[in-house]
Structure 1
Amino acid sequence: MRKITAGLFISLDGVIGDPQDWHFPYFNDEMGEAVGSQLMTADTLLLGRVTYEGFADAWPARENAGGEDARMAKTLGDARKIVVSHQDLDLPWRNSELLRGDLIEGVKALKAEPGATDIGMSGSPSIVRQLLAAGLLDELHLLVHPIALRHGLRLWDESTPIPLKLLSSKTFTTGVLHLVYTSDDQAPEGGYEQALKHQPTAQ
């Protein structure tokens, strides 16, 4: 069974929208390594329509330009790209295909396919939320930036809580936190009476 990992740039107050406007000052070698290990090693990418269209608009041109990011652009271009959308889309970027039918059933089938690497995701917050709720997202990589944006699209919507378990954490020299989570089907429970047992006592 193949793993699915998702990576998102996120602000301290949960904003993920338009990261190109706020996250570049924090991009250093540590973040590059984190992004590379999660996304660039995947031979298959699962992307929502908005993320795909943004990628398809930028990365082929960067590959053709042959600049410093051409290697990353080629890696993304060579990967199999599966796009989630209810619309019939024109998919001009090579190795792109549309995921047909129900998302959950389609992802279950995708995870069952043979493959040498994890399946990578970038952005695509609505798909991330759905896969987490269904227990199909194996790792959620959050690169938490030390900035409160106070407006913009947020990762979490006002819906059913999704308990998560922390797998690893790392602090970059920029103050960015690299947090890796997975679903937690054994999340702790309890109320104030449980917490009361752990209250500090007066000295």
Structure 2
Amino acid sequence: MNDHAEYYSDDEEAIEAYCVRCKETIEVENPRAVWTRRGVPATRGECPDCGGTVFRMGRTGLHSGEERPAAVQVASNTRTKLAQDTAYINFTEADAELAEQLADDLQKAGIATWLHENVAGDVHWAGGIHPALSECSRMVYVLSPQALDSESMEAAWKFFKSKGKRIVIAQLAPVDPPDAIRRSPRFDMIADYRSAFRQMIQALSQ
């Protein structure tokens, strides 16, 4: 008998996720259990068709037996300073899957990223502004109906706007961005992710 048989099952449920590049739900290749900085379970893997990274929020069988880590707490006296050219990914929890995939693709393209966490105290931190907002030089605003209702996201882009920092918009739905940033470069990530991503890279690099 195979000593490892207990770890495998022909009936093991396939894990599916939405690939924004292929614009369809696919069966994830090489899935692995991951956790966000807030300790939320998720699964990361690859699309079998385009080879791109896919990300799915929520617990799956891969998380069985794994202990949920504590959310990361950022302390002012131990925090590592971000590189100045880091891109701040500004998103709401409802758009976390796309934001995680976008961040992963940007990092593969050589652009460091910081993922905004939509929790109380994320933007207004230690009596002031979150250090990541001060240190990052560019922002990707993930636009959706939920984003327009997020006070945390609004506070983040308003700070960037007040400092004259570059903001680009990753559009996920046919909604208009806030008036104050409507002239920012906007890229339709749903209609054609690959083309929009290439154009976004160029805009972020200017």
Normalising by structure 2, we get a TM-score of 0.29
Between structures 1 and 2, the one with greater helix share? 1
The one of the two structures with greater contact order (alpha-carbon pairs below 8 A, sep at least 6) is 1
Normalising by structure 1, we get a TM-score of 0.29
